Amino acid sequence: MSLTIVEAREAVDRLGEFDSVIDARSPGEFAEDFLPDALNWPVLDDGERRLVGTLYKQISALQARKVGAALVAKNVAQHIERHVGDKPREWRPLVYCWRGGQRSGSLAWFLSQIGFRTFQLAGGYKAFRALVREDLEQLPARFDFRVLAGRTGSGKTRLLQALRDQGAQVLDLEALACHRGSVLGGLPDKPQPPQKRFDTLLWQALRALDPARPVFVESESQKVGSVRVPDALILRLREHGHCTVVDMGEDARVTLLLEDYGFFAADPERFCRLIGGLVELRGRETVQRWQRQARAGAWAEVFAEMMREHYDPLYLRSMDKHFLHLAQAPRLVLRDGGNDSLQAAARELLSQA
């Protein structure tokens, strides 16, 4: 039997050496965030965790430990019955909980007693979270970012995908955030990750990049929907990123928006609720006109008006404020959002990288 305590930095550097990463926290904790590829084997579920915590505060630590021990023993036994039967002697799990204490310690001890070479994360998820936050302050400075700027509907996200198809390194912040970055940017049936989960996904994406090669990324606001892009990355993009302005004609932009946001046609009331938040910026009369157009199915008209009267002025003010040399940036004209145009533009960008 073997049980080894491993520090967070060593653990993440050796993640590929572990056959399984096991999160012993409750499902609610796991839903907030977890280590890459972790499996949730809760030693206490959410209700049991609350019960033990209540006993600890209201009765005594001894009573909480008595009840908790029985629950932990039962749950660990169930995990062993369900998940361990097919594991070979050489199986090497890494186990963690919130702070590397009793929950992960109990599960790790049982696994080591069976005979598996088991590792327990010192400091638990809390130590991992601290490492992620530290790395997100340091990692952006390593990269040469090529920033795609351009007005809403100009094909920047599609161009990122075309660049990826041709082998370029891409950091797609909107894909990580599950949001297109505007008041209408929420994806249907795909909620945004919690902030901690977004941070970990971004951390994984940055760690996978090669600092010796350029990284293409879209210009973004500090917030993408409900999640916040770390300050260090935003500053790196704005102060050191090499910008290219992506331009597309209005008719082609409207066509692209109709394709990307066509799902609103099935639920115009959702669209109307979302743009209701623009009353303070654009006035009640304007917003109500857009809502009437949407309910009437005049989607091309409403998107064209919103581009001209809301998105374009807002975007240009933001870009002029945050990207001081944007006026001198090279321009890339996209004929439309079709695959041929995008692939040609991607080749042109890569030839200049």
Residues that are catalytic: 97
353 neighbors 172 (Cβ within 8 angstroms): no
List alpha helices for 261-311, DSSP H: 268-275, 279-282, 284-295, 299-306
| Number of other CB atoms surrounding residue 50 within 10 Å | 13
149 vs 247: CA distance, rounded Å = 9
Residues 6+ apart with CB under 8 A from 287: 275, 276, 278, 279
3-state secondary structure 181-248: CCCCCEECCECCCCHHHHHHHHHHHHHCCCCCCCEEEECCCCEECCEECCHHHHHHHHHHCEEEEEEE
232, two tokens: 């260090």
77, two tokens: 């036994």
